[in-house]
Homo-oligomer: A and B are copies of this chain.
Amino acid sequence: MIVIGELINGTRKKVKKAIAEKDAEYIAGLAKKQVAAGADFVDCNPGTVGEQEVSDMVWLVETVQAVTDKPIAFDSPNAEAVRAGIAAYRGGSAGMINSITLESERLNSMLPVVKEADMNVVALALDDAGMPTAAGQREETAKRLIDTLVDAGISAEKIFVDPVIAPVSTQPEVAGHILQAIEAIRDYCPQCHITGGLSNISFGLPNRRLLNRTFLTLAIAAGMDSAVMDPLDKAIMAEVLAAEALTGKDEWCMNYITASREGKLDC
């Protein structure tokens, strides 16, 4: 499981305040804690707009890379903010652009950045038709987006397809649609990674962490190998190890047994 640590996100109240006040200690602390807990990427989402977002992204990147060498995910729909973050970044192609879509405007603005950066990229299965609602729509859009990226010279190994995780509270069949899309994308592009904003599944419902980790187990079995998630949530990190042990991704359960010895499964 490739964990994209989600906590540095300006739509979260405390993070918004820390960004506004340039509280580097708070942001650096979030970066270090996520890396210590197993994050493979540290997501940076300023949550602001326009010129403010551009300068906030640069500040986040500088603040995070001052305390960790783990790659950064530049999380914004704004190509200028992503471009500025990358310019301030020392990690080169190890980084991640989060995200590109097939929406005309976003594709036109972000594709040149993606081609130039030669780094990992989250490919969110959205086009100008808006949020997917029908079965089959996610994988159809994802396949076109994968083709577009591969045609542009991006190698499949760098593409992290996001099937658009949406709330089960507003559409009961959505979890089934997403799992079906994950299976179809896994078949279509075995070299691609599959990721997603996990916590969207539980939006509007109580006990969200329980739903998040239960859904992640189903998604791992379907072929997902990454998630934008909270690595400080011990219960979900433990369930990921259990799911990998049960789905042949951790043969003889060696990672599971090691994690147990380290006390990481007690939750």
Question: What residues of chain A have their CB less than 8 Å away from a CB belonging to chain B?
Answer: 168-169, 172-173, 175-176, 179, 201, 205-207, 210-211, 214-215, 217-218, 221, 238-239, 242-243, 245-248, 251-253, 256-257, 260-261, 265-266
**Copies per assembly:** 2
Q: Which residues of B contact A253 (CB under 8 A)?
A: 168-169, 172, 205
Query: A248 and B211 in contact (CB under 8 A), knowing A253-B168, A257-B205?
Result: no
* Cα A245 to Cα B213 with chains together (Å): 13
A247 CB contact (under 8 Å) in B175, B238, B261, B266? B175
**In the complex, how many angstroms separate the beta carbon of A102 from the nearest chain B beta carbon?**
27
Prevailing SS type, chain A contact patch: helix
Closest chain-B Cβ to A203's Cβ sits at a distance in Å of 12
**Distance A211 CA – B214 CA, assembled complex (angstroms):** 12
Contact A243 B214 (CB under 8 A): yes
| Chain B residue at smallest Cβ distance from A260 | B206
- Are B210 and A172 within 8 A (Cβ)? no
Residue pair B238, A173 in contact (C-beta under 8 Å): no
Bound: A262/B260 CA distance, A:
31
Whether the Cβ atoms of B265 and A168 lie closer than 8 Å is no
Given A257-B205, A265-B206: A172 and B252 within 8 A (CB)?
yes
A205: chain B residues at CB < 8 Å are 245, 253, 256-257, 260
* Cα separation A214 to B253 with both chains bound (whole Å): 14
Partner of A260, one of B168, B207, B217: B207
- For A239, the chain B residues whose CB sits under 8 A away are 210, 214
A247 CB contacts on chain B under 8 angstroms? 175-176, 218
Distance in Å: Cβ of A119 to nearest Cβ of chain B: 33
| Inter-chain contacts of A175 with B (CB < 8 A) | 246-248
